[in-house]
Structure 1
Amino acid sequence: MGIENLPRTIEMTESADGRRTARIVDQRALPRDLSYSDVKTHREMIDAVKTLALRGAPAIGIGGAAALALYAENESGADDAAALLSELETVAQSVSTARPTAVNLSWGVARALEVARVAAAGTAAASAVADALVSDVRAMIEEDEAANRAIGAFGAELLGAGTRILTHCNAGSLATAFYGTALGVVYAAHRQGKIDMVYADETRPVGQGARLTAWELGRAGVPCTLICDNMAASVMAAGKVDAVVVGADRICANGDTANKIGTYGLAVLARHHGIPFYVAAPTSTIDASLAAGSQIPIEERAATEVSACIPQGVEVFNPAFDVTPANLITAIITERGVFDPESV
């Protein structure tokens, strides 16, 4: 058992008919089944992102770029590169807004558009633009894994022997192309013999911790205990947690950080109990255009995620993310090193 037992979350492949597709792990089926979906069009990719078949900020950033590559490869009827570029600029808008909170999605789309512009400036062939987009998606996948492994290495240096970590949602390999951000720190530290236990919050209402993080850690052979979200305070009070490590969907210029709903509460609890609170994320998650967390768009999702049976007359508030102020974050771990949250 080990990290090699984890699947590749997203890859560019070829289908039996020779069409290039994006193969993704369908995370809706986990932990019961490890199954894959072959995504052939940009609309299929949008659906995968919206329905959480593909999720996690770094992964959907790659998915956003792949959506433009798939459009160029399988959908466009453009006769030349200039016409294709015009179509891609229209498609980019619908892809980048599929989920609003994680900045990586719009970052991936913007990167793909720039690749298309550069390619179109050097060729008249639409097929050459498609080739350039597919090649860059593959490069993004390689870069993402390298960044995650660097995050893991930097984060592991912060931990001592016998560390017990609490994490929230899934910032693991499934949330990236491979390896993970917060769980990348865990995997690197576990390889060094530093991890005694990982406490995984179930992460209501969709259960990414219960369904995905616990599955990942079990498959990788990392000691894991699954807890309900409302048990975190008791576990901390019992002295069972040495550090909290979470991922991020957007980091503002002042260090305020958006992550899965419930993260803010953990940061408050960690501060009360004197436990370091670390955020692990690639630099593509940093959005310097936003001064503070109050400017981050927070996605609200369907009431049915909270309950399949809602009493008549009852409203449901279901924000998918919350914002942790920079002053509650001990450090932000990136592929470029460990930073004070106010100096990212």
Structure 2
Amino acid sequence: MADQYGRPGDGARRGRTPAIRWDEPPEGPVLVLLDQTRLPAEEAELVCADAASLVEAILTLAVRGAPLLGLAGAYGVALAAARGADVDEAADALAAARPTAVNLARGVRLAQAAYRAALSGGTTATGGTGGPGAPGGSPVGAGDRAGAARAALAAARALHARDADASAAMARHGLALLDELLPGGRHRVLTHCNTGALVSGGEGTAFAVALAAHREGRLRRLWVDETRPLWQGARLTAYEAARHGMPYTLLTDSAAGSLFAAGEVDAVLIGADRIAADGSVANKVGSYPLAVLARYHHVPFVVVAPVTTIDLDTPSGASIEVEQRSGHEVTEVRMPHTAAGAGGGVPVAPLGTQAYNPAFDVTPPELVTAVVTEMGAVSPVTAPAIAGLCARSRQVTIS
């Protein structure tokens, strides 16, 4: 299990605890996470000294959100390598921890590829796709496990930097799209789950767009879905909005329809855990109903995610594996840090009640107004448009 990490990190001393950071105390390298299950009550850090503790942190949602899971996966491989553990075994465990979030497996495999390339005498993979010969690498002798561990860490750090850059670009593109869709500014935006700095190496995905609008004086109201059953909106998005001084209002998920009917929503902004080749979007459960409401009420429904969240190997929404979580999250009211197992919360249903608890749902592309990535926005959302985004991303990476 991950333990609380007592001393504050650099981010804490600056007034903001980073969602993820690498540290090297005397007892050996560790990955330090802001424990999101304890927000907003306290900013507590968890230290993960091995891949097993990181897997546990992922499963309990101490670390979550597609881009951040990619970083956690990459750093987890680097941690296993630095600690002398079985890197391939650690990589497989990490990649399988949350199957819907494609970024997790991609981050894992990127760092694993860098490790293997360095171990076999190739070059470190600090850029590009993480394969041998990537720009910025340095030769590492065959069998040099310490050098291979450094290569894995360099790949994780490079991914971290790219994710921060992507976040800033998505904010710019997303705000430009909002201004195009909604001339006149003063946007009233509805969001679901949490898509801010807690899920990113930067300021987030969908939340970063709303934050950019706020900084430009063009955000009238951020409507925050509480996002049951684990309240990522109430606990995390409201927490981030409050820290930035944004005008926000929290609502129950079931109240969204009345907001649309009253004409109080100008646009919906959500993130994504996986975007299929046809443009289908898997995101936190409750996203699909918002897309249906938005279509009926002629409100733009915009998905904001980095290109790394697009999975061309997943042909359609029907091919996306949707994670099923414990029914106790539905039948009991509990704080998320007690989410593992039964008996940690207050029962709200009769003993033995079966619960349906998918972590995600899938929105078909015809309900998505636009997909915004660091490479720009596409609308309408079609398979050729999604493929074009990925092609442009590869060209930029290679150049």
Which runs of 5 or more residues in structure 1 are unaligned?
77-86
| Alpha-carbon separation, structure 2, partners of 1:215 and 1:114 | 37
The letter of the residue matching 2:155 is D
Cα drift, residue 316 of structure 1: 0.6
What SS is found at the alignment partner of 2:221? strand
The letter of the residue matching 2:267 is A
Q: CA RMSD in A?
A: 1.3
Cα drift, residue 67 of structure 1: 1.1
User: Does residue 12 of the first structure (1) align with residue 22 of the second (2)?
Assistant: yes
- 1:1-344 alignment, distance < 5 Å: 6-15=16-25, 17=26, 19-76=28-85, 87-122=86-121, 123=141, 124-160=143-179, 161-308=185-332, 309=347, 310-340=349-379, 341-342=381-382, 343-344=385-386
What SS is found at the alignment partner of 1:69? helix
Report what 1:83 is aligned to. none
| Alpha-carbon separation, structure 2, partners of 1:138 and 1:313 | 46
Cα drift, residue 34 of structure 1: 1.0
Kindly indicate whether the alpha-carbon contact (under 8 Å) linking 2:191 and 2:223 is maintained by their aligned counterparts in 1: yes
Kindly indicate whether the alpha-carbon contact (under 8 Å) linking 2:192 and 2:233 is maintained by their aligned counterparts in 1: yes
Question: 1:5/1:271 Cα in 2 relative to 1: closer, same or farther (>3 Å)?
Answer: farther
Kindly indicate whether the alpha-carbon contact (under 8 Å) linking 2:194 and 2:232 is maintained by their aligned counterparts in 1: yes
Cα drift, residue 178 of structure 1: 2.6
TM-score by length of 1: 0.93
Cα drift, residue 7 of structure 1: 3.5
Kindly indicate whether the alpha-carbon contact (under 8 Å) linking 1:12 and 1:138 is maintained by their aligned counterparts in 2: no
Indicate the structure whose relative CO is greater, using CA pairs within 8 Å and at least 6 residues apart: 1
TM-score by length of 2: 0.81
The letter of the residue matching 1:88 is V
Kindly indicate whether the alpha-carbon contact (under 8 Å) linking 1:6 and 1:219 is maintained by their aligned counterparts in 2: no
Deviations 1:245-278 (A, max 9, x none): 0000000000000000000000000001100000
Kindly indicate whether the alpha-carbon contact (under 8 Å) linking 2:177 and 2:377 is maintained by their aligned counterparts in 1: no
Question: 1:156/1:49 Cα in 2 relative to 1: closer, same or farther (>3 Å)?
Answer: same
| Alpha-carbon separation, structure 2, partners of 1:36 and 1:60 | 16
Is 87-96 or 156-165 further displaced after alignment?
87-96
Kindly indicate whether the alpha-carbon contact (under 8 Å) linking 2:261 and 2:297 is maintained by their aligned counterparts in 1: yes
Count of residue pairs the alignment pairs up = 330
| Alpha-carbon separation, structure 2, partners of 1:192 and 1:159 | 12
| Alpha-carbon separation, structure 2, partners of 1:132 and 1:244 | 40
Report what 1:82 is aligned to. none
The letter of the residue matching 1:273 is H
Kindly indicate whether the alpha-carbon contact (under 8 Å) linking 2:275 and 2:281 is maintained by their aligned counterparts in 1: yes
Deviations 1:148-190 (A, max 9, x none): 1100010000223100100000011101123000001111222
Identity in percent: 42
Cα drift, residue 18 of structure 1: 5.2
Which runs of 5 or more residues in structure 2 are unaligned?
1-13, 122-140, 180-184, 333-346, 387-399
